[in-house]
């Protein structure tokens, strides 16, 4: 597959997926993010790196939480932000996705942050921009279908590096509905690229894609087995719609088999960290005692997420 993420100088032109992104670029993003973590602590939380740049949040799928993180990151880079919630209804007004893109690009947009229910939509947009020579516009994938959520993946890598320093001796477990999770997919690509020797997938058969073993993961249906000796536990959110569907008996049953309780957490290494992309379903995939416990790094993930998005956006803007 043609990869439009990098320009001819090997710089990041668009951020679409962590799949195939060189470790050197991921590391550069994490290093840049580290410099922004301190910005958020300052009295005046702004740097002028994107002053006068126009960032468009193109949310074809509603997500207040993700949109907010990008809006804050843009604002702290001094960019101007325009929020566009493009519902299915207005998209059906007869204008094609690419006509919308060309229009906004003609307004001298500098960046599109794209959230879309369909896998591949940000890739389509980036490909179109490259093919039509609109090199002044950069695309950030803010989550597309089941495909990828690269900034979430990057902030997870940042968090792991922050607490564990090195990737080369870690065992990381991803727990839950991997089948429907773009977060899991981005995490797996990030972990593999950065050299994590053992990545485990834990969940019921119905929620694990069959391809995991080919991707080099160890697969566990028994959570107690899977958690033994791990350094990092990445819990996934169980979507409400799965709970009422045919894939799962009930939320209570799910918690009994795959909820992260203090007892189960004790099976991991004593200094293991617990991550979650949020929003959490307390009592479904995670026990409140764990979510609020000493090993949880769920709120630091949020803080690092702003810095990582600032890093990605500022690197794209200077490409």
CA–CA distances in Å: residue 42 to residues 46, 80, 208, 242, 253: 8, 21, 43, 42, 46
Q: Report the number of secondary-structure helices (H) and strands (E) in the chain.
A: 13, 9
Are 262 and 227 a contacting pair, CB within 8 Å? no
Residue from 5, 66, 186, 281 in contact with a second copy (CB under 8 A): 281
Per-residue binding string, a second copy, 37-56, x by CB under 8 A, is ---xxxxxxx----xxxx--
The answer to whether 153 and 181 have CB atoms below 8 angstroms apart is no
- Candidate residues 69, 151, 181, 314; the one interacting with a second copy per rule CB under 8 A: 69
Contacting residue, 31, 95, 135, 263, with a second copy by CB under 8 A = 95
Q: How far is CA 28 from the centre of its chain?
A: 17
Dist CA 75 CA 46 (whole Å): 7
Residues 6+ positions from 137 with CB-CB distance below 8 Å: 105, 109, 110, 111, 112, 129
Which CB atom, from 152 or from 281, has the smaller least distance to a second copy? 281
The verdict on 1 binding a second copy (CB under 8 A) reads: no
- Rounded to the nearest 10 degrees, how much is the dihedral formed by the CA atoms of 52, 111, 15, 45? 40
CB of 22 to a second copy, least distance (A): 28
Q: Which stretch binds a second copy (CB under 8 A): 142-150, 158-166, 226-234, 274-282?
A: 274-282
Distance, CA of 238 to CA of 243 (rounded, Å) = 8
Instruction: Pick from 3, 75, 257, 261 the residue near a second copy by CB under 8 A.
Output: 75
* From 120-128, 150-158, 259-267, 272-280, span contacting a second copy (CB under 8 A): 272-280
Q: Which stretch binds a second copy (CB under 8 A): 3-11, 123-131, 209-217, 275-283?
A: 275-283
C-alpha span between 140 and 151 (Å, rounded): 8
* 104, 219, 247, 319: residue in contact with a second copy (rule CB under 8 A): 104
Q: Which of residues 207-266 bind a second copy (CB under 8 A)?
A: 240
The site for a second copy (CB under 8 A) is made up of 40-46, 51-54, 64-65, 68-69, 71-72, 75-76, 80, 82, 84-86, 90, 93-96, 99-100, 102-104, 106-108, 240, 278-282, 284, 299-300, 302-303, 305-306
């Amino acid at each position: 597959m043609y990869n439009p993420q990098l320009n001819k100088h090997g710089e990041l032109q668009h951020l679409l997926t962590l799949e195939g992104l060189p470790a050197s670029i991921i590391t550069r993003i994490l290093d840049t993010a580290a410099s922004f973590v301190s910005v958020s602590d300052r009295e005046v939380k702004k740097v002028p790196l994107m002053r006068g740049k126009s960032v468009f949040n193109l949310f074809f799928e509603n997500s207040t939480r993700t949109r907010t993180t990008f809006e804050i990151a843009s604002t702290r880079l001094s960019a101007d932000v325009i929020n566009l919630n493009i519902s299915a209804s207005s998209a059906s007004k007869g204008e094609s996705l690419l006509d919308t893109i060309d229009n906004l690009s003609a307004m001298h947009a500098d960046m599109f942050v794209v959230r879309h229910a369909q896998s591949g939509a940000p890739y389509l947009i980036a490909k179109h921009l490259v093919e039509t020579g609109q090199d002044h516009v950069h695309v950030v994938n803010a989550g597309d279908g089941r495909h990828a959520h690269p900034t979430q993946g990057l902030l997870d890598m940042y968090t792991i590096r922050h607490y564990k320093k090195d990737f080369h001796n870690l065992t990381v477990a991803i727990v839950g509905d991997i089948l429907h999770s773009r977060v899991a997919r981005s995490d797996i690509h990030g972990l593999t690229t950065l050299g994590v020797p053992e990545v485990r997938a834990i969940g019921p058969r119905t929620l694990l894609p069959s391809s995991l073993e080919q991707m080099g993961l160890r697969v566990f249906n028994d959570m107690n087995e899977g958690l033994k000796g791990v350094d990092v536990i990445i819990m996934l959110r169980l979507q409400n719609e799965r709970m009422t569907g045919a894939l799962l008996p009930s939320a209570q049953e799910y918690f009994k088999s795959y909820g992260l309780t203090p007892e189960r957490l004790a099976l991991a290494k004593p200094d293991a960290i617990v991550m979650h992309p949020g929003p959490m379903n307390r009592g479904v995939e995670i026990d409140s005692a764990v979510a609020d416990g000493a090993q949880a790094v769920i709120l630091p993930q949020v803080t690092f997420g702003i810095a990582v998005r600032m890093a990605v956006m500022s690197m794209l803007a200077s490409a």
